[in-house]
């Protein structure tokens, strides 16, 4: 037979409550019975104190226990003691005494002399002191020694524990107590049924909400959010919070994916539309086929090629598929060679290209080709978005455990709130930094992934030259 989760939880809670209640009832009843037995034993010992005094008087008269060692003499003496139900009776004394002749079962009575030897009754271990004090009474005698009366122990009255309670009133009292325990247990079981139902439902309800939410996530509904109780802080609440975080992350990922596709289609549409228009004009004879027209088409093809190459590089970087071969790389010489290759382009727009460093040997553990690509993208970004007659300055500083690279340029600048967004894909601040050569806004996103692969940091701040400063921190 298969049980649902609710039924399993309900049976589990109920079984635990039933077991706990049973153990409590058994423990309470056992403790009550043990305490009652000890109480009756103490009362019994108090009732035996007159008998112990009679034994003491017997010893003072006889000066020994010899007469009581005989079973018949012992029965005769007990029949006239405080143990007898009818002392001083004229009826003949039987030996041994019948069980109803005394108020206590004589088979439980023993007398031990001062040498720890049994006088009469059950055999006791050699050392009576091993017997619990709750089941023995000292038999004392007063003697004259050095003109002083001293009390000395001449024996022990041992009472064997009574394993069962025979008093009718006490038996009835114990039965009434047990019935009370059973009624309490029945009430507690009903209460446990109710509590087990509430607890199982309390645990199952958040799980049902999470299960329903997972089904909606599987269908593509990433807007689902599970309600969370502010009063509770258990593991199920934590699980629900994690589910909501996952849902928001999936929603953001889906939104980014849609935005990514929209941006790609937009960036591809522009050069393709220009190419199509130019080619149609040439085919229809609207424009003559001249070297200038073909050069314009080539320029658009090159722009489209750069965009596709950037998309390919960025997709590989996102997937972690870019090939990185880490080796010690000396940055100063690599940067100087790269700056020389860019210098003629900057000169064509009267932009000063400067390089400064505080070291001649800045070595990091990285991929030389990717690090050159990093600086190349930063220089390309600065070239595109710096006004003519401006400045672009590259600074390489060696710190204790870092190599810091600054790439900063002159106006135009970017609003402070826009700076963290520069490394997002297709992000351009066209209102202030006009695109000069058709860049798609992917260069800085690729730089971010390269720096991340080298366990470094990259961020943007305002430059004192009037433009933007890109800061790259690489571990040595």
Domain boundaries, the chain: 5-168, 235-316, 323-475
**Helix or strand (DSSP H, E) at 314:** helix 291-319
pLDDT value at position 126? 55
Place of tokens 């035996």: 48
Q: Are 207 and 240 in contact (CB under 8 A)?
A: no
Pair type for strands 457-462 and 363-366: unpaired
CA distance 82 to 53: 10
Nearest CA to 208 among 238, 233, 242, 240?
240
CA distance 143 to 151: 6
CATH of domain 235-316: 1.10.287.130
pLDDT value at position 405? 92
What percentage of the chain reaches a pLDDT higher than 90? Answer: 6
Contacts of 140 (CB under 8 A, 6+ apart): 56, 151, 152, 153, 154
CA distance 460 to 314: 20
Identify the top-confidence range among 183-197, 221-235, 372-386: 372-386
pLDDT tens for each residue of 450-459? 898 889 999 9
How many C-alpha atoms does 97 have within 13 Å on its Cβ side?
Answer: 26
DSSP 3-state assignment of 8? helix
pLDDT value at position 314? 65
CA distance 372 to 337: 10
Q: What does residue 154 show for φ and ψ, rounded to 5 degrees?
A: -110, 0
Q: What does residue 325 show for φ and ψ, rounded to 5 degrees?
A: -120, 100
DSSP 3-state assignment of 60? helix
Nearest CA to 334 among 362, 353, 356, 314?
362
pLDDT value at position 407? 92
Q: Which residue has the higher pLDDT, 428 or 301?
A: 301
Ordered DSSP codes for 319-337? HT-S----EEEEHHHHHHH
Strand partners, 120: 111
Distances (CA, A) of 210 to 207, 221, 246, 248: 5, 14, 12, 15
Place of tokens 């005698």: 141
Nearest CA to 234 among 206, 209, 273?
206
pLDDT-based confidence at residue 146 (cuts at 50, 70, 90): low
**pLDDT of 318 higher than 80:** no
Nearest CA to 166 among 120, 82, 100?
100
The pTM for the full model equals: 0.45
DSSP 3-state assignment of 227? coil
**pLDDT of 379 higher than 70:** yes
**pLDDT of 56 higher than 60:** yes
Query: Of the CATH numbers 3.30.565.10, 3.30.70.580, 3.40.50.10680, 3.90.100.10, which one belongs to the domain with range 323-475?
Result: 3.30.565.10
Taking residues 259-284, what's their average pLDDT? 73
Mean pLDDT of the chain: 78
Q: Which residue has the higher pLDDT, 359 or 17?
A: 359
Taking residues 281-299, what's their average pLDDT? 77
pLDDT value at position 427? 62
Q: How many residues does the chain have?
A: 476
Q: Strand runs (DSSP E) across 343-423, as ranges? A: 352-357, 363-366, 391-398, 402-410
Q: Which residue has the higher pLDDT, 396 or 36?
A: 396
Taking residues 428-434, what's their average pLDDT? 48
CA distance 335 to 163: 100
Taking residues 463-473, what's their average pLDDT? 90
**pLDDT of 262 higher than 80:** no
CA distance 315 to 197: 53
Q: Are 381 and 439 in contact (CB under 8 A)?
A: yes
**pLDDT of 226 higher than 60:** yes
Q: Of 45-54, 77-86, 240-249, 254-263, which gets the smallest average pLDDT? A: 254-263
pLDDT-based confidence at residue 472 (cuts at 50, 70, 90): very high
Taking residues 191-205, what's their average pLDDT? 75
């Amino acid at each position: 037979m298969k049980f649902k989760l609710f039924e399993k939880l309900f049976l589990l809670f109920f079984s635990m409550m039933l077991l706990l209640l049973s153990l409590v009832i058994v423990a309470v009843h056992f403790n009550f019975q043990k305490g009652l037995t000890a109480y009756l034993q103490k009362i019994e010992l108090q009732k035996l104190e007159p008998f112990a005094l009679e034994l003491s008087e017997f010893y003072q008269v006889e000066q020994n226990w010899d007469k009581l060692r005989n079973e018949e003499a012992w029965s005769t003496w007990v029949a006239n003691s405080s143990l007898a139900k009818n002392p001083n009776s004229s009826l003949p004394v039987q030996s041994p005494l019948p069980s109803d002749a005394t108020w206590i079962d004589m088979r439980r009575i023993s007398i031990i002399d001062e040498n720890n030897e049994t006088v009469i009754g059950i055999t006791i271990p050699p050392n009576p002191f091993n017997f619990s004090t709750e089941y023995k009474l000292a038999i004392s005698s007063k003697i004259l020694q050095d003109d002083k009366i001293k009390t000395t122990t001449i024996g022990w009255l041992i009472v064997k524990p009574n394993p069962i309670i025979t008093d009718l009133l006490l038996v009835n009292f114990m039965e009434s107590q047990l019935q009370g325990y059973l009624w309490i247990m029945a009430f507690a079981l009903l209460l446990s049924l109710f509590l087990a139902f509430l607890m199982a439902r309390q645990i199952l309800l958040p799980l049902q909400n999470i299960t329903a939410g997972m089904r909606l996530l599987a269908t593509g509904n990433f807007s689902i959010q599970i309600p969370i109780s502010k009063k509770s802080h258990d593991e199920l609440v934590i699980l629900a919070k994690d589910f909501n975080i996952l849902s928001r992350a999936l929603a953001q990922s889906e939104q980014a994916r849609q935005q990514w596709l929209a941006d790609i289609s937009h960036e591809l549409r522009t050069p393709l539309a220009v190419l199509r228009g130019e080619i149609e004009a040439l085919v229809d004879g609207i424009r003559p086929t001249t070297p200038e027209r073909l050069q314009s088409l080539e320029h658009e093809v090159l722009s489209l090629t750069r965009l596709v190459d950037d998309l390919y590089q960025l997709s590989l970087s996102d997937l972690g598929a870019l090939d990185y071969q880490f080796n010690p790389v000396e940055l100063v010489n690599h940067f100087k060679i790269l700056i020389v290759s860019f210098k003629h382009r900057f000169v064509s727009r009267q932009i000063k290209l400067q390089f400064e460093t505080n070291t001649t040997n800045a070595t990091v553990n990285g991929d030389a080709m990717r690090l050159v690509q990093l600086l190349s993208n930063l220089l390309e970004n600065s070239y595109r978005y710096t006004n003519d007659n401006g400045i672009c300055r590259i600074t390489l500083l060696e710190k204790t455990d870092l190599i810091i690279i600054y790439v900063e340029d002159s106006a135009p600048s970017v609003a402070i709130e826009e700076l963290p967004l520069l490394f997002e894909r297709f992000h351009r601040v066209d209102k202030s930094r006009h695109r000069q050569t058709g860049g798609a806004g992917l260069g800085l996103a690729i730089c971010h992934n390269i720096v991340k692969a080298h366990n470094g940091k990259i961020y943007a701040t305002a430059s004192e030259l009037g433009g933007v400063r890109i800061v790259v921190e690489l571990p040595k």
